[in-house]
Amino acid sequence: MVATRWSSGGQAGQPPQQSGSDVTMEFKHQPTVTLAEVAEAAGVGESTVSRVLRNHGSFSAKTRERVMAAVERLGYVPNRIAGTLASTGSRLVAFVIPSLSNIVFPDVLRGASAVLEENRYQAVFSVTDYDPGKEEALAAAMLAWRPAAVMLAGYEHTEGTVKMLRASGCRIVELLDLDGDALDIAVGFSNRAAGRESAAFLLKRGYRRIGYVGHDLNRDTRAGKRFSSFCETLDAHDAPLVAREILPGASSVENGRLGLKRLLARTSDLDAVYFSNDDMALGGYFHCLAEGIAIPSKLAIFGYNGLDIGRAIPQPLSTIRTPRVATGQIAAQLVVANAPPQAVDLGFELIEGATA
């Protein structure tokens, strides 16, 4: 462990010089400028200031300038807490997502936040760790902020969550899954179709002895859907899954590597392996690389997600590219536009890389 040295003025680990009297643990909030004070400073009524700042209703150019000058002079920052309480409908959008480690969700957030920011909406989030109970608790906490919409992953929610969301009257957006009935709005693609197409592709390429390496499917139900459709398709073509290796915990490159190693130790004559996602598949790829297993002649590898890194490895990964950012964008657009209930299928793209 190489410790860093803190290189600015003071001694390492010491607080930097601060403005004097902050010795106590308690931090005093300085009095804030209110709209009423701006109104008085500008010599106009409160509602006039409100109208000018929201650019809503009518006011003269002269008034506008007086108000803006006062705002500037006093350093007024509107209080959206108060504003939201007074008006109907907030501009908060709540995200209740399973994880931030799985790049899928940051990607969705990225797409959504760009659209939301443009429309002066504010994104709020919390992380469930794929735990439906936690999802319920966090969704309840979110509803307390009276958001314009709640965005969740997929269709699997507790009864309590569904009941609560329905009763809330706010928009409900279910993301990244279309295999089921949407509560209100759904944006994504069919995981079952993805599993099916993956299997069909491998079969078409002539692979018959196919294995699977995946992470905890009980938690990640979308991966579970892909897997079951994958197996069904194999069964329908008389090439049932030969072996599987399921690792507990989250997906990761390391788990993919470990999973493939274990799978091959048990079952030597596989000709292709389907992974629960690209992280896992990359782990498998690296295992083959390290062990000198020729890809795809000796063993084919197929992933899911279409991460950028999959295209940069020596042999581009065969996988399915999912529209993660677009899912976030479309979801946000529908919320902003207050669109009617609907399910939007964004599809996916099968990438015929060099690993299968």
Partner DNA sequence: CACCAAATTGGTAGCGCTGCCAAAAAAACC
Partner DNA sequence: GGTTTTTTTGGCAGCGCTACCAATTTGGTG
Q: CB-wise, 60 or 114, nearer to its own copies? A: 114
Residues 6 or more apart whose Cβ sits within 8 Å of residue 239: 203, 207, 208, 209, 210
Minimal distance in Å, beta carbon 60 to its own copies? 26
Tell me, rounded to whole angstroms, the distance of Cα 321 from its chain centroid: 16
The interface region with its own copies, picked from 43-51, 141-149, 231-239, 264-272 by CB under 8 A, is 141-149
Candidates 68, 125, 239, 354; binder of its own copies (CB under 8 A) is 125
Interface positions, 311-350, toward its own copies (CB under 8 A): 311-314, 337-343, 345, 347-350
DSSP state of 318: B
Length of the chain, please?
356
User: Which of 36, 69, 141, 236 forms a contact with its own copies (CB under 8 A)?
Assistant: 141
Radius of gyration, CA atoms only, the chain: 27
**What is the rounded distance in angstroms from the CA atom of residue 162 to the CA atom of residue 238?**
39
Residue 11 binds its own copies (CB under 8 A): no
Query: Residue 69 or 114: which CB sits closer to its own copies?
Result: 114
Q: Per residue in 310-340, is it b (16+ CB within 10 Å) or e — as a string? A: beeeebebbbbbbbbbbbbbbbbbbbbeeee
Beta carbon of residue 62, minimum distance to its own copies (angstroms, whole number): 25
Exactly one of 36, 100, 141, 309 binds DNA (CB under 7 A); that residue is: 36
Q: Is 168 in the site for DNA (CB under 7 A)?
A: no
Chosen residue from 36, 69, 85, 236 binding its own copies by CB under 8 A: 85
Determine if residue 307 is left, alpha or beta; phi over 0 gives left, psi from -120 to 50 gives alpha, anything else beta: beta
How far apart (Å, rounded) are the C-alpha atoms in residues 228 and 191?
10
Give the one residue of 10, 43, 240, 341 binding DNA; rule: CB under 7 A: 43
Residue 87 touches DNA, criterion: CB under 7 A: yes
Q: Interface with its own copies includes 21 (CB under 8 A)?
A: no
Q: Which of 37, 40, 68, 143 binds its own copies (CB under 8 A)?
A: 143
Q: Secondary structure of 194-237 in the HEC alphabet? A: HHHHHHHHHHHCCCCCEEEEECCCCCCHHHHHHHHHHHHHHHHC
Does the footprint of DNA cover residue 85 (CB under 7 A)? yes
First to last CA, the chain: 41
Cα maximum dimension of the chain: 85
- CA angle, residues 140, 144, 149, in degrees to nearest 5: 80
The item of its own copies, DNA, none sharing an interface with residue 118, based on CB under 5 to 8 Å by kind, is: none
Write the binding mask 44 to 63 for DNA: x where contact by CB under 7 A, - elsewhere: xxxxx-xx-xx-xxxxx-xx
Q: CB of residue 251 vs DNA: minimum separation in angstroms?
A: 40
Burial of 155 (0-12, 13-18, 19+ CB in 10 A): buried
Give the angle subtended at the CA of 263 by the CAs of 205 and 298, to the nearest 5°: 40
Paired tokens of 236:
């329908």
Q: Which stretch binds its own copies (CB under 8 A): 39-47, 206-214, 294-302, 303-311?
A: 303-311
Q: Which is nearer to DNA, 143 or 293 (CB)?
A: 143
Task: Tell me which of DNA, its own copies, none is bound by residue 329, counting a contact when its beta carbon lies within the kind-specific cut-off of 5 to 8 angstroms.
Answer: none
Residue 211 β-bridge partners: 243, 273
Count of positions on this chain that bind its own copies (CB under 8 A): 112
In the complex, the residues that contact DNA under the rule CB under 7 A are 32, 34-36, 43-48, 50-51, 53-54, 56-60, 62-63, 76, 78-79, 82-83, 85-88
